[in-house]
Amino acid sequence: MQASASTFLKRRSWSSWLADVVLAAMVSGPFAAPFLAASGLPILTQISEIIYWMGQQVCPQPDLGMTMTASHAMAVCMRCYGTVFGLVAMRVLYGRDRGQSPYWLERYGLWGFGLTFALCMFYPMELALQGFDGWPISNVRMTLFGGLAGVGLGAYLMPLCHRYRSEA
């Protein structure tokens, strides 16, 4: 077991490591920001300000972030965080089969890209539907629609980001 794990780690490319670091930051940052801000410690509040600024740059509704502490919400809305959940789920699946299953859309070329695009449209569709009275704002709904978009995006991107060097 040890030999196969070390072989696996050696075969990972730098872009795979970088993609995992970015994904870890996307998972932990928005969640940690309210706790860092509530700490009151100067360096931690500065870090939280950076995270909140980044959230405002990528999230269309950062003010709808879920409240985590008495006076601080997450740095992004639950739709954005749901997208990250979808990406994490696809990363876990890719780590298990390394792109051998038929649901990895990258292998289908333009058709796979089209399906990815269709799945990613769940994100703006839910955002647009919030403008109607019959579609109230719901964190659960936002997370689910964001998750579908993340699954679609991850099904296409994970094989591209996590290529493995062939065994020599």
Interval 40-97: pLDDT, tens: 899 999 999 999 999 999 999 988 988 888 889 999 999 999 999 999 999 999 888 8
Three-state secondary structure call for residue 12 = strand
- Residue 168 included in any domain: no
Q: What is the mean pLDDT of residues 20-46?
A: 93
User: At residue 11, does pLDDT exceed 80?
Assistant: no
- Residue 166 included in any domain: no
**Segment 89-129, tens digit of pLDDT:** 999 998 888 878 887 877 788 888 888 899 999 999 999 99
- Residue 75 included in any domain: yes
User: What integer pLDDT is reported at residue 166 of this predicted model?
Assistant: 52
Count of residues in the chain: 168
- Residue 20 included in any domain: yes
Nearest to 158 by CA among 82, 99, 77: 99
User: What integer pLDDT is reported at residue 92 of this predicted model?
Assistant: 93
Provide the domain count of the chain.
Answer: 1
Contact 120, 88 (CB under 8 A): no
- Residue 167 included in any domain: no
User: What integer pLDDT is reported at residue 81 of this predicted model?
Assistant: 94
**Segment 141-153, tens digit of pLDDT:** 999 999 999 999 9
The DSSP output letter for 105 is: G
Q: How far apart are the first and last CA of the chain?
A: 19
67: β partners: 73
Question: pLDDT band for position 165 (50/70/90)?
Answer: low
Q: Which domain holds residue 109?
A: 2-161
Q: How buried is 107 (Cβ within 10 angstroms: 0-12 exposed, 13-18 middle, 19+ buried)?
A: middle
- Residue 150 included in any domain: yes
The token pair at 123 is 């994100």
3-state SS string for 106-165: HHHCHHHHHHHHHHHCHHHHHHHHCCCCCCCCCHHHHHHHHHHHHHHHHHHHHHHHCCEC
> Cα 61 vs. chain centroid, distance in angstroms?
16
User: What integer pLDDT is reported at residue 168 of this predicted model?
Assistant: 39
User: What integer pLDDT is reported at residue 167 of this predicted model?
Assistant: 43
How many Cα atoms within 13 Å fall on the side-chain side of residue 93? Answer: 20
